[in-house]
Amino acid sequence: MSDFEFFGGGDVAESYDPAAVERFKERIKQNAQFIAALQQQEKKQKGKDDALFQILLKWIKKNQNRGIMLLVAKLIEFNVPAGFILALLLLGNEELQREAGMDLLPPPEVDEHSQADAGAVALPGHDAALPLRVRAEINAWGKNMYQAAADFPFRILETILDVQGNIKKVAVDLAANLLSEFLERNGVPMEYEQAFSFAQFMLQGILKQVKKDVEKYQLDTVQADQDRP
Mean pLDDT, consecutive 10-residue stretches, the chain (229 aa), reads 46 64 70 61 66 78 82 90 90 83 60 42 57 84 90 87 90 95 89 90 88 76 55
Cα distances from 26 to residues 109, 165, 198, in angstroms, run 47, 11, 28
The torsion angle over the Cα atoms of residues 59, 60, 64 and 67, rounded to 10 degrees, is 120
Give the pLDDT of residue 4.
Answer: 45
Taking 3-state DSSP, the helix, strand and coil percentages for the chain, each rounded to the nearest 5, stand at 70, 0, 30
Beta bridge mates, 185: none
| pTM of the predicted protein model | 0.74
Classify residue 13 by its DSSP letter: G
Question: Cβ contacts of residue 176 below 8 Å, gap of 6+?
Answer: 192, 195, 196, 198, 199, 200
pLDDT at 211: 84
- Give the integer Cα–Cα distance in Å for 166 and 20: 10
> CA-CA distance, 221 to 33, in Å (whole number)?
10
**pLDDT (0 to 100) of residue 35:** 62
Q: Residues 6 or more apart from 160 whose CB is under 8 A from it? A: 75, 78, 80, 84, 167, 168, 171, 203, 207
At residue 28, the pLDDT reads 65
pLDDT of residue 114: 45
Show the beta-strand stretches assigned E in the chain. none
Contact, 151 vs 169, CB < 8 A? no
According to the model, what pLDDT value does residue 117 have?
37
- C-alpha 221/C-alpha 229 separation (Å) is 15
Q: How far apart are the C-alpha atoms of 29 and 217, rounded to whole Å?
A: 15
Residues 6+ apart with CB under 8 A from 191: none
Task: Evaluate whether 167 touches 17 at the Cβ level (below 8 Å).
Answer: no
pLDDT the model gives residue 128: 57
